Amino acid sequence: MAEHGDSAVGEQLSATTTEAAKRTDGEGAERVSEAPGKSKRSPRKATAKKATPTKNTKKATATKSTAAAKKATTAARKATEATKPTKPAAAKSTAKPAAATSTGKPAKPALKVTQPESRLSLVRRARRINRELAEVYPYAHPELDFENPFQLLVATVLSAQTTDLRVNQTTPRLFAAYPTPEDLAAANPEEVEELIRPTGFFRAKTKSIMGLAAALRDRHGGEVPGRLEDLVKLPGVGRKTANVVLGNAFGVPGITVDTHFGRLVRRWKWTDSEDPEKIEALVCDIFPKSDWTMLSHRIIFHGRRICHARKPACGACPIAHLCPAYGEGETDPEKAQKLLKYEKGGLPGQRLKPPPDYPGQPAPPLAAG
């Protein structure tokens, strides 16, 4: 009996020991499985555990990814900027560039007036225009044919409301018939009218030139006076005509404000006045007296050849960079070249007998015109 009891207790202890051993072996197996290379767990469970990062690992990975992305973006932007063409520095002036000029000089940007111009700036710009026109027209001259002060006086009176060319084509026959003031004063008015008919307004002009011829005969001994105050008292003679005669027949400086002169000084913003006497006074105040006569010739030359009344040839203008009115006319260089007149356009000038240094062709006589 004792042996049987002992045997039962032994079996129970043996079973308990076996269960404990199993548990111990399981726990040991679990601990062993944690060692690298000796895991007995399934590959799926091991992979899942490795793919689950800690919180610190997630933050580190996110930070590295953000930094890498920023670095890549910066590098891409720099590479893009490096491939772009470099933009030129912005110019201070917003003016359009002037086209190629008729003188062959490099074009300069056209002037753009964005604020009121000071008196000093206007004077400097005006004098610079005069200097540059002197380079363009070194041969500028009065465009009426004459051999003495009397012929110049009569031709200037006849030039009203017509071209100098038409006057030059008309006066040869007139002066051949009436070479002196005495001859013209004693002429038959109807014969004079017929001779000067091509100049237009021939009846009024006949009265003027015959009246001034009589005044020269009666008051000045048949000679043209060399003073402004005497000239303006003659029939049909105003300040413009007097200044033409004084400047070109007597060498006395004067400003000739004709339609071309008045149009250009307004375009250049020297003045906005339409009054010839006010324009004359203003321009005289800008320039020294020694410049007056030649300034008049240069401006009139420019007005007839390039800066026309209806359609200025802005694209061929050599002083576009000094002109506030640039763009009022044709700015395309090729089209502007076609607008040029007289020697600038390869055409005859206005004088039948031009000065020796004139680069153009003489004008044809009336019969050939």
Residues annotated as part of the active site: 240, 258
Contact 241, 265 (CB under 8 A): no
Gyration radius from the chain CA atoms? 50
Per DSSP, the three-state class of 155 is helix
Contact 175, 187 (CB under 8 A): no
Burial 308-323 (b: 16+ CB within 10 A, else e): beeebbbbbbbbbbbb
Q: Where is 132: in which H helix or E strand? A: helix 119-136
**Could you give the CA distance from residue 132 to residue 129 in angstroms, rounded to a whole number?**
5
Closest by alpha carbon to 241, among 171, 316, 158, 345?
A: 158
Give alpha helix (H) positions in 137-160: 149-158
Q: Name the token pair of 314.
A: 């802005």
**Could you give the CA distance from residue 111 to residue 320 in angstroms, rounded to a whole number?**
7
Residue with tokens 């006066």: 171
Residue with tokens 């607008």: 339
DSSP code of residue 37: T
How would you classify residue 104: left for phi > 0, otherwise alpha for psi between -120 and 50, otherwise beta? left
Residues paired with 97 in a beta bridge: 109
Contacts of 228 (CB under 8 A, 6+ apart): 239, 242, 243, 246, 252, 254
Q: Name the token pair of 21.
A: 């051993």
Q: How far is CA 359 from the centre of its chain?
A: 28
**Could you give the CA distance from residue 195 to residue 170 in angstroms, rounded to a whole number?**
7
